Amino acid sequence: MAKEQLAYDEFMKGLWRENPVFVQVLGLCPLLAVTNSAINGLAMGLASFFVLLGSSILVSLFKSYIPKQVRISCFIIIIATFVTVVDYTLAAALPVIHKELGAFIPLIVANCLILGRMEAFASRNTLRMSVADAFGMGAGFLFALVSLGAVREILGVGELFGIALFGANFEPWVIMILPPGGFITLGVMLLYFNWLEEKKNKIDKQLATEDGVN
Amino acid sequence: MSEDKVEQAAVADEPSPARLIGTLAIAGLVSGVIIIAIYLATFETIKENKARELREAVFRVLPNVSKMQKLLLKEGKLEVSYKEEKGEEPIYAGYDDNNTFMGYAIPSDGPGFADTISVLYGYRPSDRKVIGMWILASRETPGLGDKIYKDAAFVANFDDLAIEPPIVATKRGKSKPNEIDAITGATISSVAVARIINKGNDYWVSRLPEPGAEPAYVEVETPPEAEDAQAQ
């Protein structure tokens, strides 16, 4: 029971409390580049999720065999192998999406979020915890990509996952699917997450003082 | 403990260079095997995807065409080709159900607003007209420059377009047979498409055979792979 609770905690940590994008502000290059539509965000999120999960499992399994002097090279070899698998699989199965994402699939190799999780978590924790961590961080990244993509697509094109939402009178806010729109949306979302954090801290403080009085 | 001894203890903990190299070598080897396996497993599908994409583009720029074949310029003469050749510059001939020649699909590219634009356009030599245009690849601005393929009205500019004098993109409404309407807010992209097609015409029109002397459609009886194997 306690173990399950811990694993659940690791998962929620990545998805929400320490969300890789909205709290840690990592992996912004693919985030800003591919989120001009929800479907692109979803594809990129799933690709990164798969790479992160696969690499976490392998790094966690082999952590005691990898000497620390060559660990970064080993992590990168593992990550690059998964990325190549994703790249070829997407090109074969979903050529249209593969073309849209272009160079950003190979660039997952250099995503600091993934190498960061290997170095900070998978290489120091059990397989079970590493899988929970990868699930959480992967889901958190996926959540950030899809929500950013959805907001930008709705405002910038008037569609969501390619389905028109508004009537013909809707004038799309083109800037939202251009690079500035990515920065604006990300900025607003970071603001929201910081506001949540501040509110939570205030409540915690209040509770603490009340406890003190009682 | 003297400094010497501390150093020695540290060295004893260090893995030997052979172990370090061995670890990396094994990781590299396993990774290599997996990468080659996935490459081989997806190779055929990716090739088919690319071929289908090209076929669809050719059928799009040449109306009423149901068959196509690749043509290469060899010593000034257009020849039917099945093989992939390094650095080849092919054009494609389209034929209808009765194997009647309908037109050429000509690829051409050049700089756009953001990056290189690759265009495939249909050309009918009998009346020297462009009869269709399709963008194969571009990185033009979403919402503005990408109208060169998303805006049906702009694409329709190329359905019946004279090539002499060279194609001109105009903002004042087209009035001549060689003019196209530029997209408002994407003038550079529109002009680029016109320029890219003109560039293709400059090179190809003088090199094409006389109208009526186009290469006939060759029914392939043996698949090209089998032919290659026999030749070897």
- Same domain flag for B115 and B37: no
Residue B50 lies in a domain: no
- The alpha carbon of residue A182 is apart from the nearest alpha carbon of chain B, in Å, by 13
Q: Which residues in A lie closer than 8 A to residue B142 (C-beta atoms)?
A: 36, 156, 174, 177-178
Q: Search chain B and give the residue with CA nearest A84.
A: B35
Residue B56 lies in a domain: no
Residue B54 lies in a domain: no
CB A115 within 8 A of CB A76: yes
Residues of chain A with pLDDT > 70: what percent? 98
Q: Out of A29-43, B6-20, B81-95, which region has the weakest mean confidence (pLDDT)?
A: B6-20
Q: Which residues in A lie closer than 8 A to residue B57 (C-beta atoms)?
A: none
Which of B14, B34, B143 is closest, CB to CB, to A81? B34
Q: Search chain A and give the residue with CA nearest B39.
A: A88
pLDDT in the model for residue B231: 47
By a Cβ cutoff of 8 Å, what residues of chain B touch chain A? 14-15, 19-20, 23-24, 27-28, 30-31, 34-35, 38-39, 41-42, 45-46, 49-50, 53, 141-144
pLDDT of B90 strictly over 50: yes
User: Could you tell me the pLDDT band of residue A172, with boundaries at 50, 70 and 90?
Assistant: confident
Which of B15, B24, B45 is closest, CB to CB, to A73? B24
pLDDT in the model for residue B139: 83
Q: What is the mean pLDDT of residues B193-213?
A: 89
What range defines the domain where residue B34 resides? 3-45
pLDDT of A157 strictly over 90: no
- Same domain flag for B9 and B105: no
Q: Per residue in A59-97, pLDDT tens? A: 999 999 999 899 999 999 999 999 999 999 999 999 988
pLDDT of A214 strictly over 70: no
Residue B52 lies in a domain: no
Q: What is the mean pLDDT of residues B112-125?
A: 92
Q: Search chain B and give the residue with CA nearest A64.
A: B23
pLDDT in the model for residue A12: 87
* Mean pLDDT estimate for chain A: 90
- Same domain flag for B111 and B162: yes
Running DSSP on this structure, what letter comes out for residue B109? E
Q: What secondary structure, in 3-state letters, does chain A show?
A: CHHHHHHHHHHHHHHHHCCCCCCCCCCHHHHHHHCCCHHHHHHHHHHHHHHHHHHHHHHHHHCCCCCHHHHHHHHHHHHHHHHHHHHHHHHHHCHHHHHHHHHHCHHHHHCHHHHHHHHHHHCCCCHHHHHHHHHHHHHHHHHHHHHHHHHHHHHHHCEECCEECCCCCCCCCHHHHCHHHHHHHHHHHHHHHHHHHHHHHHHHHHHHHHHHHC
- Same domain flag for B112 and B144: yes
B23/A88 touch (CB, cutoff 8 Å), yes or no: no
pLDDT in the model for residue B133: 94
By a Cβ cutoff of 8 Å, what residues of chain A touch chain B? 36, 65-67, 69-70, 73-74, 77-78, 80-81, 84-85, 88-89, 91-93, 95, 156-157, 172, 174, 177-178
Q: Search chain A and give the residue with CA nearest B52.
A: A95
Q: What is the mean pLDDT of residues B148-153?
A: 90
Q: Per residue in A104-156, pLDDT tens? A: 899 999 999 999 999 999 999 999 999 999 999 999 999 999 999 999 999 98
pLDDT of B222 strictly over 70: no
Residue B205 lies in a domain: yes
Residue B123 lies in a domain: yes
- Same domain flag for B35 and B142: no
- Same domain flag for B141 and B179: yes
User: Could you tell me the pLDDT band of residue A14, with boundaries at 50, 70 and 90?
Assistant: confident
pLDDT of B137 strictly over 90: no
- Same domain flag for B38 and B84: no
Q: What is the mean pLDDT of residues B83-91?
A: 81
- Bigger pLDDT: B51 vs B29: B29
Side-chain half-sphere CA neighbours of B145 within 13 A? 19
B142/A172 touch (CB, cutoff 8 Å), yes or no: no
pLDDT of B2 strictly over 70: no
pLDDT in the model for residue B6: 52
Which of A73, A91, A177 is closest, CB to CB, to B42? A91
User: Could you tell me the pLDDT band of residue B8, with boundaries at 50, 70 and 90?
Assistant: low
**Inter-helix orientation angle A127-157/A179-213, to 10°:** 120
Q: Which residues in A lie closer than 8 A to residue B144 (C-beta atoms)?
A: 174
**Number of Cβ pairs < 8 A linking chain A and chain B:** 67
User: Could you tell me the pLDDT band of residue B138, with boundaries at 50, 70 and 90?
Assistant: confident
A178/B24 touch (CB, cutoff 8 Å), yes or no: no
- Same domain flag for B143 and B118: yes
pLDDT of B55 strictly over 60: yes
Q: Which residues in A lie closer than 8 A to residue B34 (C-beta atoms)?
A: 81, 84-85
pLDDT in the model for residue B9: 52
pLDDT of A2 strictly over 80: no
pLDDT in the model for residue B12: 55
Q: Search chain B and give the residue with CA nearest A73.
A: B24
Q: Which residues in B lie closer than 8 A to residue A157 (C-beta atoms)?
A: 143
pLDDT in the model for residue B4: 56
User: Could you tell me the pLDDT band of residue B193, with boundaries at 50, 70 and 90?
Assistant: very high
A74/B39 touch (CB, cutoff 8 Å), yes or no: no
- Bigger pLDDT: A79 vs B86: A79
What total number of domains does chain B contain?
2
Task: Respond yes or no on whether ipTM tops 0.85.
Answer: no
What total number of domains does chain A contain?
1
- Same domain flag for B29 and B70: no
Q: What is the mean pLDDT of residues B102-131?
A: 92
What range defines the domain where residue A139 resides? 2-213
Q: Among candidates B8, B58, B85, B139, which has minimal Cα distance to A36?
A: B139
- Same domain flag for B165 and B209: yes
Chain A interface disruption, residue of B19, B24, B139, most A CBs within 10 A: B24
B142/A85 touch (CB, cutoff 8 Å), yes or no: no
pLDDT in the model for residue B172: 85
Residue B51 lies in a domain: no
- Same domain flag for B31 and B86: no
* Mean pLDDT estimate for chain B: 85
A92/B42 touch (CB, cutoff 8 Å), yes or no: yes
